A and B are shown apart, each in its own frame.
Chain A
Amino acid sequence: DARVTQTPRHKVTEMGQEVTMRCQPILGHNTVFWYRQTMMQGLELLAYFRNRAPLDDSGMPKDRFSAEMPDATLATLKIQPSEPRDSAVYFCASGLVRGGSNEQFFGPGTRLTVL
């Protein structure tokens, strides 16, 4: 049963610390997305990759956030330095874009709390 996995599932850290979240997309999927979900803003797209190349990171605060795909099995989202307003659930999703079909498969999320 192919699934998107994310680690860690929960992270509590103090303001100013670096946070790294990891995602393993479903094998064979060519697109990877990072989202942030909060009660106030809902689900926001931060960045996404196709065939490991970044396509759009306009939703991401560039000064502190960075997203990479070092290889096809790993995507990372890093926050440095973290701030309390970064507290949210961060989701990774992957998909196979072809023939007009582009449904996304979400991981379980990383719940981040910045104190």
Chain B
Amino acid sequence: SQQGEEDPQALSIQEGENATMNCSYKTSINNLQWYRQNSGRGLVHLILIRSNEREKHSGRLRVTLDTSKKSSSLLITASRAADTASYFCATDGTGANSKLTFGKGITLSVRP
């Protein structure tokens, strides 16, 4: 299976601190994506990183990808209480009809 597995399962930090979340996967990918889910809502796409990219930035988000280790990390800098949510990584395999496979998610709590 190429399922993404996030680590840690839960993370609690103080507002203003940085949050780092990790994702590992098992097989070759076209791209890896991170999504956020607020309580009671659908998932929202945050950022996509392609297999030939190593790092990508979007606002306070920084994503890295290490294809040799089959791992990715999502860094949220200067966290805010509004960042409290679950975060999922999703991998897109290399098949022709590839679909996204989601991990179980990381619960991030940012204390005001």
Are B99 and A42 interface neighbours, CB within 8 A?
Answer: no
In this complex, what residue of B is CB-closest to A109?
B42
Task: Find B45's partner among A33, A56, A105, A107 (CB 8 Å cutoff).
Answer: A105
Contact digits for B71-101, partner A, Cβ 8 Å, 1 yes 0 no? 0000000000000000010001000011111
Asked whether any CB of chain A lies closer than 8 Å to the CB of B69, the reply is no
Asked whether any CB of chain B lies closer than 8 Å to the CB of A43, the reply is yes
Complex contacts, A66 vs chain B, CB 8 Å: none
Q: In the bound complex, what is the Cα–Cα distance between A45 and B90 (angstroms)?
A: 12
Contact digits for A77-115, partner B, Cβ 8 Å, 1 yes 0 no? 000000000000001010000001111111111000000
Complex contacts, A93 vs chain B, CB 8 Å: 42-43
Complex contacts, A43 vs chain B, CB 8 Å: 43, 88, 102, 104-105
Q: Which of B43, B98, B104 has the most CB of A within 10 A?
A: B43
Are B105 and A42 interface neighbours, CB within 8 A?
Answer: yes
Q: In the bound complex, what is the Cα–Cα distance between A48 and B100 (angstroms)?
A: 11
Are B99 and A56 interface neighbours, CB within 8 A?
Answer: yes
Complex contacts, A105 vs chain B, CB 8 Å: 45
Are B41 and A102 interface neighbours, CB within 8 A?
Answer: no
Asked whether any CB of chain A lies closer than 8 Å to the CB of B31, the reply is yes
Count A/B pairs, Cβ under 8 Å: 48
Asked whether any CB of chain B lies closer than 8 Å to the CB of A12, the reply is no
Are B103 and A42 interface neighbours, CB within 8 A?
Answer: yes
Complex contacts, A27 vs chain B, CB 8 Å: none
Are A106 and B97 interface neighbours, CB within 8 A?
Answer: no
Asked whether any CB of chain A lies closer than 8 Å to the CB of B13, the reply is no
Asked whether any CB of chain A lies closer than 8 Å to the CB of B56, the reply is no
Q: In the bound complex, what is the Cα–Cα distance between A43 and B48 (angstroms)?
A: 19
Task: Evaluate whether A103 and B33 lie within 8 angstroms (CB atoms) in the complex, with A43-B102, A91-B43, A108-B42 already known.
Answer: yes
Are B42 and A42 interface neighbours, CB within 8 A?
Answer: no
Residues of A in contact with B (beta carbons under 8 Å apart): 4, 33, 42-43, 45, 48, 50, 55-56, 91, 93, 100-109
A102-B98, A108-B41 given; 4 more Cβ-contact pairs under 8 Å? A93-B43, A100-B50, A101-B31, A103-B45
Q: Name 5 interchain pairs, CB-CB below 8 A, sorted by A.
A: A42-B105, A45-B100, A55-B99, A102-B92, A106-B42
